[in-house]
Structure 1
Amino acid sequence: MAPGIRIMQKLSSTRAFARVAPHFVPAVDRAVHRLTRGRVLLSAWMLPGVILTAKGARSGLPRTTPLACMPEEASGGSGGGRGGGKACDSWILIGSNFGRAGHPAWTANLMKHPDARISWRGEGIEVTARLLKGAERAAAWQAVLKFWPPYATYQARVEREIRLFRLEERRSR
């Protein structure tokens, strides 16, 4: 593992990061994403990321949120090659809220309106979200912890169970 990633994992596990990051990381990601026409997310230099657009749970209005994600390799080994790297057709979103109390608002949005859109490496993709439960959640949680260990620190800091969602690409019907 690269030294920069180890440093970022330690930094992202701190309470100070949890207090400050929610105020600047999404704003910077939105601005850079807009300026690069969807090609760049600064936070994706450490973790893969998507821009999620989902209907608000109460308002029904589109809500756009930059989020870290764990891409899942496409079944069968092909999935259109989403802009380089491993092809994928599903993504795990982690409702960690940087280890702060309370579920992030985007999780309520997906629970009420599971059909959404993501921008993944500059490509717009229609997806359906599913809240993971039981054994499926347990398996995904273990994969998430292997992928980015600081999520264990976030979970230890809060009493709520961190919500995990699997986003699956909606195929043309």
Structure 2
Amino acid sequence: MQIPDAEAMQAFNRTVVEEFRSNGGKVGGQFEGADLLLLTTTGAKSRQQRLTPLAYLRIDGRLIIIGSYAGADIHPAWVHNLRAYPRAKVELGTTSFDVIAFELPAAERDEIFSRIISVAPGFADYQARTKRVIPIFELQRIR
């Protein structure tokens, strides 16, 4: 699959972030009714703060994000950022908090992925589009 155009993605993400923050974490359009969060990571190379809107799932009370990048053959930048700097900030609705991200090991990832696709089958399509294994992260709140 072709890599998404970075400039177009940034513009799209800015619009989603503005709508999210203006409406208490709710957005319309293609994401209407979806569970979205805003993830602020530290750039793996730049060390600059990077803000990304992401879909998330709650599985067994765990906050889960999926590095699908719509099935592109590369990981989204936030995956590289979390691997380099696992501390991040999450905005969920009108609440924000710090987290530590843990990438799920292969066996756990596979078990969780099967549960993800049972409720969000589009992720199976994304995995089928790429040879890379789509990474899954758990975001654990820092108390």
Query: Among residues 20, 35, 43, which one is paired with 1:33 in the alignment?
Result: 20
Aligned match of 1:159: 131
- Report the RMSD for the aligned CA atoms in angstroms: 2.2
Query: Among residues 35, 40, 54, which one is paired with 1:48 in the alignment?
Result: 35
How far does residue 141 in structure 1 lie from its aligned partner after superposition? Answer: 0.5
Residue 82 of structure 2 is aligned to residue 96 of structure 1 = no
- Aligned residues of 2:25 and 2:37 also touching (Cα < 8 A): no
Which runs of 5 or more structure 1 residues have no equivalent in the other structure?
A: 1-14, 75-89
Identical columns (%): 30
- Aligned residues of 1:40 and 1:122 also touching (Cα < 8 A): no
Which runs of 5 or more structure 2 residues have no equivalent in the other structure?
A: none
TM-score (norm 2): 0.85
Aligned length: 138
Which letter does structure 2 place at the counterpart of 1:122? T
Name the CA distance, whole Å, in 1 between partners of 2:91 and 2:107: 29
3-state SS, counterpart of residue 109 of structure 2: helix
Aligned match of 1:86: none
Q: Over residues 56-78 of structure 1, what are the superposed CA-to-partner deviations in whole Å (9 max), with x where a residue is unaligned?
A: 1011111100001112353xxxx
- Aligned residues of 2:25 and 2:36 also touching (Cα < 8 A): no
Name the CA distance, whole Å, in 2 between partners of 1:63 and 1:19: 17
Aligned match of 1:68: 55
Structure number with larger C-alpha Rg: 1
Aligned match of 1:125: 97
TM-score (norm 1): 0.71
Which letter does structure 2 place at the counterpart of 1:40? K
Name the CA distance, whole Å, in 2 between partners of 1:130 and 1:118: 14
Name the CA distance, whole Å, in 1 between partners of 2:137 and 2:102: 5
How far does residue 101 in structure 1 lie from its aligned partner after superposition? Answer: 1.7
How far does residue 144 in structure 1 lie from its aligned partner after superposition? Answer: 1.0
Q: Over residues 19-72 of structure 1, what are the superposed CA-to-partner deviations in whole Å (9 max), with x where a residue is unaligned?
A: 68x736423211212333x43233552421110001110111111000011123
